[in-house]
Amino acid sequence: MNSKAKPLLMASCLLLSLLVSTSLSAKALRSPVQTGDDIIVAKGDIPTPAKYHQAIQAELDYASQNITSIISLLNQLNVALSSGNLSQAQQFYVQAHQHYERVRPIVRLFGHADRIINSRASYFLQGTSDYRFKGFHLVEYLLFDSKNLAAAKDAVGELLMYCRDLKQRLAQEQIDIPKLVQSSADFIEMAIEVKLAGKENLYSHSDIADMAANVQGSQHIIEELSAFIPQSMLKQINRNYQQINAIMSHYVTANGQYKTFEALTWHDKKKLYSLLSQQANLLATLRAILDVAVYYKF
């Protein structure tokens, strides 16, 4: 190396060192800074306390059981389609989707799984003709609107593939306690924002069944966490569930299913809106009540 090239090399190395140092410094500045004796900064440094492990595993088991039920019902739906029994196939759809709504906020924790499995036609510019429209609501559309049994069979086959994949994923995943606690409120908010407006199942009109499923899913989480919730608050939460379930029970048919959305009276809709809103607000305070550390992902 000649004497002229050596200073240039040294200058380049110094510049590279400064750039790396600056980059690391900038990255550190962008990281969340928290203070306090009980606060730990990085996500990896906030393990879920051991006392919550049983509740988390119980919820994962509950989700897996419901996904297993979905797979079974979809298989029965396929048999009904093969025999040309549209009415029976429609019933299996409603039941399968109800099981999905019992665990949907948990599914939403796993990337884009919910968007693939449960997207409504309104999510896409091309609506029902969009190639991305698939999953539960495509099956619903084909069964209740176009009544295309051959296409429905293909759509059910694809949905079964997604559900089997989801079950395998559930067996390998874990849920952080802040997400589990938040899901108890997410269930209720889903019921308020979508089902109570009749916007979830636009073709089968089975939103009452799904609303009941959302409440059941929320209630299951609270049951698993009940040992950690102050008794005064737990009583209030359970009282709300009882009142909500009492209204929902008016819409159960003789065969144990739920009536279609059109049966929901304006009076009961207003009562449910009030009770569900109270419950969502109450459950939203649980993370603070349980002193669950919250962190941000960047």
Distance CA(211)–CA(190), nearest Å, equals 8
Instruction: Quote the DSSP letter at residue 150.
Output: H
Q: Which two three-digit tokens encode residue 240?
A: 């709300």
SS3 category, 172: coil
Q: How far is CA 85 from the centre of its chain?
A: 31
Query: What DSSP assignment string belongs to 17-71?
Result: HHHHHHHHHHHHHHS----STT---SGGG-PPPGGGHHHHHHHHHHHHHHHHHHH
Contacts of 262 (CB under 8 A, 6+ apart): 205
Q: Is residue 54 part of a domain?
A: yes
Q: Is residue 183 part of a domain?
A: yes
252: β partners: 258
At 115-174, the pLDDT tens digits run: 999 999 999 999 999 999 999 999 999 999 999 999 999 999 999 999 999 999 988 888
Cβ pair 289, 265 in contact under 8 A: no
Percent of the chain with pLDDT over 70: 83
Q: Is residue 7 part of a domain?
A: no
At 75-87, the pLDDT tens digits run: 999 999 999 999 9
Distance CA(208)–CA(263), nearest Å, equals 9
Cβ pair 287, 186 in contact under 8 A: no
At 215-231, the pLDDT tens digits run: 999 999 999 999 999 99
SS3 category, 252: strand
pLDDT value, residue 133 = 94
Q: Is residue 149 part of a domain?
A: yes
Number of domains composing the chain: 1
At 269-285, the pLDDT tens digits run: 999 999 999 999 999 99
* Helix spans in 125-250 (H): 136-144, 149-170, 177-193, 207-225, 231-248
Q: Give the residue numbers spanning the domain of 168.
A: 47-289
Q: Is residue 152 part of a domain?
A: yes
Tell me the pTM: 0.83
pLDDT value, residue 160 = 97
Of 290, 292, 287, 295, nearest in space to 41 by CA: 295
CATH number (domain holding residue 270): 1.20.1420.20
pLDDT band at residue 3 using 50, 70 and 90 as cut-offs:
low
Q: Is residue 296 part of a domain?
A: no
- Bigger pLDDT: 250 vs 15: 250
pLDDT value, residue 49 = 84
Q: Poorest-confidence range of 42-56, 149-163, 190-204? A: 42-56
pLDDT band at residue 48 using 50, 70 and 90 as cut-offs:
confident
pLDDT value, residue 37 = 52
pLDDT value, residue 298 = 36
pLDDT value, residue 294 = 58
pLDDT over 50 (residue 21): no
Q: Is residue 188 part of a domain?
A: yes
Q: How far is CA 171 from the centre of its chain?
A: 16
Q: Is residue 64 part of a domain?
A: yes
pLDDT over 60 (residue 22): no
